[in-house]
Amino acid sequence: MEHPGEEGRAGLRVLLIDDHTLFRAGLRELLERRGIRVLDAVGDSAAGIRLVAEQTPDVVLLDLRMPGMGGIEVLRELRQADPGVRVAILTTSAEEQDLIQAIQGGARGYLLKDMEPDELIAALGQIVAGGTSVAPELTGVLAKAVQGETRVAQVRSAFSDLTPREMEILCHLAAGRSNKAISRVLGIADGTVKLHVKGILRKLAVHSRVEAAVIAVEQGVCDRDRQGEGRH
């Protein structure tokens, strides 16, 4: 039986690195029946890295959990040797941390072993065409994680916009001090402290001094010496 697009996949060359023998053999047969050339299928990480260098496959399908050198470490080795190598993680893990580490490590795909064969083939085609493919059920997880990273980056950028005095007051907020206590420690008017606090909230895009204090603590921008200034 022929499958849609089989002719266009005839030149696709794939290398498998997975320590599960039965899965490796089954996947190899599935891919070859779809007109994809499997250069090799190995269960040893070091052997896989060597074969990738020797055979330069179009896509490397890489297991995440393997004894010895795990998939993320193999990914980094492959990317260091050849930044242009296309690697797709093929795993049972739907954990957010695994997905983020793989994408940050340069993986061009994060696919699940229980996905439909047609979905896997389509993903390989997308990767070879220069795209990135993530298992459909994980796109929401990826989007959430990316939004979280973007927010962290925005917050860190906002800290650089704070003046030295605003940063000083922020650290007093992080230490739980009131405006009156801050004005007494810094020797400035209570109204001046309020103006600085208003500026801090605006620059950090938060609505309360508590939120600003929490962000300062989470990001570790205030050392203990600074938080402890003024205590006697």
For the chain, list the domains and their CATH numbers. 7-138 (3.40.50.2300), 162-227 (1.10.10.10)
Backbone angles phi, psi at 97, to 5 degrees: -65, -40
3-state secondary structure of 162: coil
**Which pTM was predicted?**
0.60
3-state secondary structure of 37: strand
Residue 167, amino acid: M
For the range 165-170, what are the long-range contacts, defined as Cβ-Cβ under 8 Å and sequence gap of 24 or more?
165/196, 166/196, 166/199, 166/200, 166/203, 167/221, 168/226, 169/193, 169/196, 169/197, 169/200, 170/200, 170/212, 170/213, 170/216, 170/221, 170/222
Provide block-wise average pLDDT over 10 residues at a time, the chain (232 residues). 44 93 94 93 94 95 89 92 92 86 86 90 90 79 59 68 91 87 92 93 81 78 54 38
pLDDT of 74: 94
Say how far apart CA 210 and CA 213 lie, in whole Å: 5
Q: List strands edge to edge, sheet with 59-62.
A: 37-42, 13-17, 59-62, 87-91, 109-112, 133-134
Nearest alpha-carbon partner for 176 in 103, 230, 100, 108: 230
Count of alpha carbons within 13 Å of 182, Cβ hemisphere only?
25
Joined together, the tokens standing for residue 27 give 């996947």
Joined together, the tokens standing for residue 208 give 């309360």
SS3 content of the chain, % helix, strand, coil (to 5): 60, 10, 30
pLDDT of 208: 75
pLDDT of 139: 72
